[in-house]
Structure 1
Amino acid sequence: MRLSTKQDVDAPLAQVWAIVADFDGWERAALRRGADVSRDDSHRQATVGTDWRLGFLYRGKPRKMQVQLTRLEQPQHIGLHFHSAALEGEAHIELIEMAARRTRLHVITEMKPLNLGARLYLQSLRFARNRVERKYHDRIAAFAHEIEQRARSPRR
């Protein structure tokens, strides 16, 4: 299943990149939401090949996922590969400078099932495709709005 959306952000490309590529911030956000996060490398900063192991509850069951940074081209592209017992997929984030203070955020997520349960789950999402795409779009729009707010606020 492939989901894709584009959002325009009222912030310069450099500021949007700094927020989107803040992997330490993403780790802290996941921890605040109750996930277990561990980085499987010795690098101080995330680089291509950096792995994260995630543990979280989804639909009342504990899940485990491994996420690997596969592409990091500053200031435009981030690629992630994720793998769990049931699903595997890719997420791509592309930033396009539209004007000096306007950036387009293009996010693509592709998922493939690895077992029958995941195949049935993705099939049910396909039946509700319009609702799923709307929720995906709304979540990315909320993230774009959050980026705008963070870009406007003074640095801490």
Structure 2
Amino acid sequence: MEFHSKEDIEAPIAEVFAAISDFGTLERSALRRGIELQRTGDPAHPENGLAWDLSFSFRGKPRAIKLTMASYTPPSGMALDGSGSGVDGRMEVELLALSPQRTRMSVRLKLSPTTLTGRLLVQSLKLARSNLNRRFKLRLADYARLTEERLSRTA
């Protein structure tokens, strides 16, 4: 199962990359949403094996996921691999400079089951695909808008 969306941000590519790789801010945001996390590795050098152990409740069941930095290529993007609770996933964030002050952020999330439980979970997600696609696009648009606002305040 795959989700994909693109958003344009009115900011230079280097600033957008700095914002999306601000792991401290992302971790605080996850904690506010009720996700417990434990980071391993140095966020100053994410290419050297930065990883997170996440635990949260989804659809009434506790879930645990291990996220690992798969690639980190400033300022063009990064990829994260995740596995746990019967599902493997990969999230790729690509940045493209459209102009000196405009950047396109493209995010792709791919989920694949590894167990029968994971297969049932992914199948239930497929049944709600249109709603989940809409929510994914709205969440990315909101993240892009917030990033743009934050960067315009600091400029």
TM-score clears 0.5: yes
Task: Report what 2:38 is aligned to.
Answer: 38
Supply the distance in 1 between the matched residues of 2:16 and 2:43 (Cα, whole angstroms). 21
Aligned residues: 154
Aligned residue type for 2:31: L
Q: Distance in 1 between matches of 2:77 and 2:43?
A: 20
Worse-superposed segment, 72-81 or 53-62: 53-62
SS in 1 for 2:46: coil
RMSD: 1.5
Alignment check: 8 A CA contact 2:23 2:43 kept: no
Aligned to 1:47: 46
Post-superposition Cα deviations, 1:50-69, rounded to whole Å, max 9, x if no partner, equal 11111112223221111000
- Verify: 1:99 aligned to 2:88, yes or no: no
Please tell me whether the aligned partners of residues 3 and 109 of structure 2 are also in contact (alpha carbons under 8 angstroms).
Answer: yes
- Against the structure 1 CA distance between its residues 122 and 98, is the aligned structure 2 distance closer, same or farther, given a 3 Å change threshold? same
Task: Report 1:1-156 matches (<5 A).
Answer: 1-41=1-41, 43=42, 45-48=44-47, 49-154=49-154
1:94-139 Cα deviation digits (max 9, x unpaired): 0000011110000000001122232122223223322221111111
Q: Which runs of 5+ in 2 are unaligned?
A: none
Q: Deviations over 1:39-84 (max 9, x none)?
A: 123x352422211111112223221111000110000111100011
Bigger CA drift: 8-17 or 100-109?
8-17
Regions of 4+ moved over 3 Å? none
Q: In the TM superposition, what is the alpha-carbon distance from 1:27 to its structure 2 partner? A: 1.3
**Partners of 2:78 and 2:112 in 1: CA distance:** 20
The residue type paired with residue 77 of structure 1 is G
**Contact 2:17–2:77 (8 Å) recurs in 1:** no
Distance 2:117 2:4 in 1: 24
TM norm structure 2: 0.91
Q: Structure 1 residues 142-151 or 45-54, which shifts more?
A: 45-54
Q: Which runs of 5+ in 1 are unaligned?
A: none
- Rounded to whole Å, the distance in 2 between the matches of 1:2 and 1:59 is 19
Percent of aligned pairs with the same amino acid: 33
